[in-house]
A and B are shown apart, each in its own frame.
Chain A
Amino acid sequence: MTATLAPGELTEREARRIIERVLDAASADETDVRIAAQEGGNLRFAANGATTSGEIGDTTVRIATTFGKRTGTIEVNEVGEDALAAAVRRAEEIAHASPKDPEHMPPLGRQRYPDVPRAHITATADIDAARRARAAGRAIDAAKGRDVLLAGFLQNAEVTEAIGNSAGNLGYQRRTWLTYSNTARTTDGAGSGWSGVYLTDADRLNTDARARVAIEKALASRTTKSLEPGVYRVVLEPSAVGSLVGLLLENMDARRADEGRSFLSAPGGGTRLGQRLLSDKVTIRTDPASPLAAGRAWAQSGIPAREVEWFRGGVTTTLNYDRYWASQKDVEPTPGPLNALMEGEDHSLEDLIRETDRGLLITRFWYIREVDPQTLLHTGLTRDGTFWIEDGHVSHAVNNFRWNESPVRALREVEMLSRPVPIGDVEAGLVPMVLPAVKAHAFTFSSVSQAV
């Protein structure tokens, strides 16, 4: 039989025991151990009824061993003593077969990992199949009699992670997350609306309220007027803003900037650190202490999560340094964007619309891909609710668009911000994000999409 560990059994004591077992079995100069356990369930629904669902648990152990500067890594989901010993041996075989890595960094010594507040909510961990079905049922009930078909997805998980190494580092964190989204489409296929959220706390879920948002958008977008592609003023709802912020944060790597192959590279050498690239209204940071965006206590590299300010008043204030590049540049390494917080202003989304003479209201973006890394030009589409604003009011729905735009250019054109809210959109990536709606002066739409 295989010796496995149910995720719920990964207590701090058990995690230490596994780490010690790996370290005892290791003969390498350095050994690093990561344990990740996840237990949870999901439910999909479509056309106003349940489709597939499941309940899954798994525990993985990742072992990296190093002799001198030669490293080998293995990940397994069998955690019995013999299986772990075999995994250690295989990692060491790989290490012996690997060339020396001149950039190898020694293991981190004992770190102080932050206690991330509200990262674990028992009510979220305890959601079972019956509760998922009831939550979806409330959303489906909201769709009944409204001439729409609702599709959606609810997933909750409890995640336990532990980290340890031969230099004495140890960390343990338990957290929960929940993602919910739903899309309403009118039965004639003419209108579509969406709403979604990523939370740690199931008590904030409210599937029926989120269904109603999607349903109202679908009904309001059933009759559209044609609008030609062009450059328009936009009010971007927070989910759409999340896509742009995600693109920026994915591209903050300091080494690529120093090597001249990033939008953050400066002509003639050097980087754009310290330059104002965005509107002075734009401040974006990472902060593990944010109660609405609780996430990991450490980065993939093992560096403790901490507050990092990426842009302040539109000025690039930090680049993302891994441990090696930081050592070369004599700066502190960064834990990366473990969550994303963008400052807002004391306005509502409705205020932004009210202050817009003519422009487009965008619910969300779809299928965003990089076109030109030099300018960070990306292409993507609008979907699930695109509306024309006239004289401070939403006037009517319009067709969807393909756009070609750079998040740098779009966020340089910011005119007004709302109060930030948590978002949950796969297109923005699934790190916790708390973002405002944005009113921006110009956004480039390059062709019409017939898609609804």
Chain B
Amino acid sequence: MLLGLPLLSSGTSDVLSRRLRRLLEPDQKEVADAALDAALAAGATYADVRISRHRYQDLASREARIEAITERETYGMGVRVIAGGAWGFAASPTVTVDEAARLARRAVAVAQANAKITRAPIVLAPVDVYQDSWKTPIEKDPFQVPLSEKVDLLLATNAAALKGGASFCSSGMNFQHHAKYFASTEGSHIDQELYRSYGSFEATAVDERSGEFQSRRTLAQPVGGGYETLERWGFAAEAERAGAEAREKLAAASVEPGTKDLVLAPSHLWLTIHESVGHPTELDRALGYEANLAGTSFLTADKLGSFRFGSPIVSFQADKNQPGGLATVGYDDEGVKAGQWLLVKEGVFVDYQTTREQAGWIADVTGNERSHGTSYAEHWSDVQFQRMPNVNLLPDPHGGSADDLVGGVDDGIYMEGDASYSIDHQRYNFQFSAQLAWEIKGGKRGRLLRDVAYQAITPEFWSSCDAVGGAGTYALGGAYYDGKGEPVQSNAVSHGCPVARFRGVKVLNTRSVLA
């Protein structure tokens, strides 16, 4: 019982209530041990327990009005087992020793039912045992920042967009705090706290006479970090510029479709990396485990180590340690320590993302019997499975600036910010558009264009990359709500990249595409 203490509150009372709550809640290790013992007694050969509390704070505004301020909190535990060679899982919001044992027995019963239709017994890769804790490095806990500061920032952002020329502006903030405890029959007990912060806006300009409207969203990106990341962005200044650019887009020249060179800023390129590199290098996809919804992958296991994915200047690194990364953790959700590894090395596809179940499936090719640590579950109520780490395009140590890359283009487009995105279910054919598309003529960035989208085939696109910018152009973008699995779970993941140039890409005019 909480004895009437505030469940959630701002300022010091929140810290106090959380400390007291931790004292009043049952000992996590005691609960976890009850589940693990009960699972083994019921016939499980492996079990893990996750006890977690997830907090969210969401603010939404438009123009001079705060539409909603909402806080959500969910607490519970999930028990996963292997019994009869099959997975079983059960979850409950009741975190007690008795419920832990009941859940464990239920998870074993689920596994035993599934064992009748399982093709091969689950075998887990070896893992080291840890007693450890980890926390996202933050300067300002977003849940401690007074709401009035956030409200002021949102309303100032909207006002600036209207001042810049927008007819409307909507903005919002979304903060997450995940307190996660993990224990397994391997002997690990791991405590982690993850923080994520996101601020955004969209300015829209309307020309009532013609009935035309155009929008321009922020180039700000969600991060694994605290409120300081929003304070540093400069939302009001960007919003004023965005309001003017939304208005400018109404009168902008409509793009001439054709084959053009593209220079893509990190605020745009991160999403292309996410869809065309992050997802196809998921091993569960490649082997058909996501075939029923998310799809499979053109990067089949026979291509591992030899397939030419892109040009030799293109290397992609998976990185669960990246500062500011949304998928950055100390340990994954099955107790594997976070690390880094290459997925594409100098243009060649060399590795996948793996979990403990998956590592052995390709160990004969990779020589690595250990998991890369990409197991993740959104909540206590979700079973963990393979999810994307931060996947980054490495900068060229000798790479130049955005202007340097633009300088090498005679007829092309410079694109900033992510907009529409779509890719097929094997990750070949994609189409993207941007918030801002600037014409490049004779090596110079010129006027704003509208109605721009580009289409490409993944390995052809990355093979057309002839320049990657230097570390000075590197920035982090990210997906706050990346869906995968059935039932669909949301993951948050970042993608760092420098500016990059691509030759001869098919550009569409989205107004003339309908014949």
Cross-chain contact B168 with A259 (CB below 8 angstroms):
yes
Stretch at the interface among B38-46, B62-70, B262-270, B323-331: B62-70
Task: Judge whether B23 is part of the interface by a CB distance below 8 angstroms.
Answer: no
Closest to A185 in B: B291
A141-187 interface (Cβ within 8 A of B): 149, 151-153, 155, 181-183, 185
The one of A97, A183, A374 in contact with B292, judged by C-beta atoms closer than 8 angstroms, is A183
Q: Is the CB of A56 within 8 A of B148?
A: no
Cα–Cα, bound, A99→B204 (Å): 23
Is A266 among interface residues, defined by CB-CB distance under 8 A? yes
Docked complex Cα distance between A93 and B115 (Å)? 50
Q: Is B455 an interface residue (CB 8 A)?
A: yes
Q: Which residues of A contact B72 (CB under 8 A)?
A: 74-76
Give the distance to chain B from A126, nearest Cβ to Cβ, in Å.
15
Contacting residues, chain B, for A43 (C-beta < 8 A): 114
Is A348 an interface residue when CB atoms closer than 8 A count as contact? no
**Does the CB pair B433–A371 fall under 8 Å?**
yes
Select one of B2, B9, B116, B289 contacting A80, CB under 8 A. B2
Report the bound CA distance from A265 to B422 in whole Å. 26
Beta-carbon contact of A75 and B288 below 8 Å: no
* CB-contacts of B403-437 with A (<8 A): 420-429, 431, 433
Contacts known (A152-B292, A371-B420, A451-B295); A55 close to B74, Cβ less than 8 A: no
In the assembled complex, B315 has its CB within 8 A of some CB on chain A: no
* Residue-wise interface mask of A (69-88) relative to B, using a CB-CB cutoff of 8 A (1 in contact, 0 not): 00111111110101101110
Question: Chain B residues with Cβ under 8 A from A446's Cβ?
Answer: 455, 508, 513
**A380's contact among B96, B422, B486, by CB below 8 Å, is which?**
B422
When each residue 297-315 of chain B gets 1 if its CB lies under 8 Å from chain A and 0 otherwise, what string results? 0101000000000000000
Q: Mark B39-56, 1 if CB is under 8 A from A, else 0.
A: 000000000000000000
Given A183-B291, A402-B455; A366-B421 close (CB under 8 Å) = no
The B66-105 residues at the A interface (CB cut-off 8 A) are: 66-76, 78, 86-96
Inter-subunit contact B431/A402 (CB<8 Å): yes
Q: By the criterion CB–CB under 8 Å, are B514 and A409 in contact?
A: yes
Against B, the Cβ 8 Å flags (1 = close, 0 = not) of A354-393 are 0000000000001111111111010111010000000000
In the bound complex, do residue A153 and residue B293 qualify as a contact, i.e. CB atoms below 8 Å apart?
A: yes
**Chain A hits for B147, CB < 8 A:** 94, 97-98
A404 engages B293 (CB within 8 Å): no
- The interface-forming segment of B126-134, B174-182, B209-217 is B209-217
Contacts of A6 in B (CB 8 A): 94
Q: B455, A90: Cβ atoms under 8 Å?
A: no
Which A residues between 222 and 264 are near B, CB-CB below 8 angstroms? 231, 259-261
Stretch of A12-20, A46-54, A109-117, A307-315 on the interface side: A46-54
| Stretch of A130-138, A284-292, A334-342 that contacts chain B | A130-138
Output the residue of B66, B206, B506 with the most chain A CB within 10 A: B66
Give the total of B residues in contact with A, Cβ under 8 Å.
Answer: 105
Q: Which of A101, A367, A368 has the most chain B CB atoms inside 10 A of its CB?
A: A367
User: Given the interface contacts A59-B93, A77-B75, A86-B4, does A50 sit within 8 Å of B298 by beta carbon?
Assistant: no
Q: Which residues of chain A have C-beta atoms less than 8 A from B73's C-beta?
A: 74-77
Contact of A93 among B10, B65, B106, B511 (CB under 8 A): B10
A374 to B204, CA, bound (A): 12
Contact (A94, B71) CB under 8 Å given A133-B117, A409-B514: yes
Known contacts being A2-B75, A86-B6, is A50 close to B117, with CB within 8 Å? yes
**Could you tell me if B457 and A450 are in contact, using CB atoms closer than 8 angstroms?**
yes
Residues from chain A with a CB closer than 8 A to the CB of B114 are: 43, 50, 53, 129, 133
A402–B429 touching, CB < 8 Å: yes
Decide yes or no whether A4 CB sits under 8 A from chain B. yes
Residues of A in contact with B, size category: 35 or more
A99, A189, A380 pick with most chain B CB within 10 angstroms: A99
Chain B nearest Cβ from A87, distance in angstroms: 6
Q: Is the CB of A54 within 8 A of B89?
A: yes
Question: Does any Cβ of A come within 8 Å of B334's Cβ?
Answer: no
Residue numbers in B under 8 Å from A371 (CB-CB): 420, 431, 433, 453, 510
Secondary structure at chain A's binding surface: helix, strand, loop or mixed?
Answer: strand
- Which of the residues B7, B113, B289 comes within 8 Å of A129, measured between beta carbons? B113
Could you say which of A46, A368, A442 contacts B291, with CB atoms under 8 Å apart? A46
Contact of A51 with B67 in the complex, beta carbons under 8 Å: no
Contact B71 A366 (CB under 8 A): no
Picked from B86, B120, B151, the residue with its CB within 8 Å of the CB of A98 is B151
With A42-B487, A103-B65: A379-B291 Cβ-Cβ less than 8 Å? no
A316 close to chain B: CB less than 8 A: no
When distances are taken between beta carbons in the complex, the residues of chain B under 8 Å from A140 are 117
CB-based contact B295/A366 at 8 Å: yes
Q: Is B110 an interface residue (CB 8 A)?
A: yes
Given A185-B296, A375-B511, answer yes or no on A53-B89 (Cβ-Cβ < 8 Å): yes
Most chain A beta-carbon neighbours within 10 Å: one of B75, B204, B486? B486
Most buried by B among A101, A155, A383, A451: A451
Complex-state Cα separation, A150 to B109, whole angstroms:
24
Within 8 A of A (CB), among B211-248: 211-213, 215
Closest to B95 in A: A2
Are B95 and A1 within 8 A (Cβ)?
Answer: yes
* Contact status B4-A372, CB under 8 Å: no
> Does A449 count as interface, using CB distance less than 8 angstroms?
yes
A72 touches B69 (CB 8 A): yes
Bound Cα distance A394, B182 (Å): 54
- Partner of B119 from the list A48, A80, A448 (CB cut-off 8 Å) is A48
Judge whether A46 and B295 touch: CB under 8 Å: no
Contact A381 B66 (CB under 8 A): no
Contact of A268 among B118, B208, B215 (CB under 8 A): B208
CA distance A181 to B74 in the complex (A): 29
A4 to B77, CA, bound (A): 12
A–B complex contacts, Cβ < 8 Å, 22 sampled: A2-B93, A45-B117, A53-B88, A74-B70, A77-B76, A78-B93, A83-B2, A86-B7, A97-B148, A137-B116, A155-B486, A231-B515, A367-B425, A371-B431, A372-B451, A381-B422, A381-B425, A402-B422, A406-B514, A447-B506, A449-B429, A451-B298
Given contacts A261-B167, A371-B433, 11 further A-B contacts (CB under 8 A): A54-B91, A58-B93, A71-B69, A97-B146, A101-B65, A102-B65, A103-B67, A140-B117, A149-B291, A367-B424, A451-B425
Q: Give me the 8 closest cross-chain CB pairs, A-B, nearest first.
A: A267-B211, A49-B119, A54-B89, A86-B7, A451-B426, A451-B424, A97-B147, A153-B486
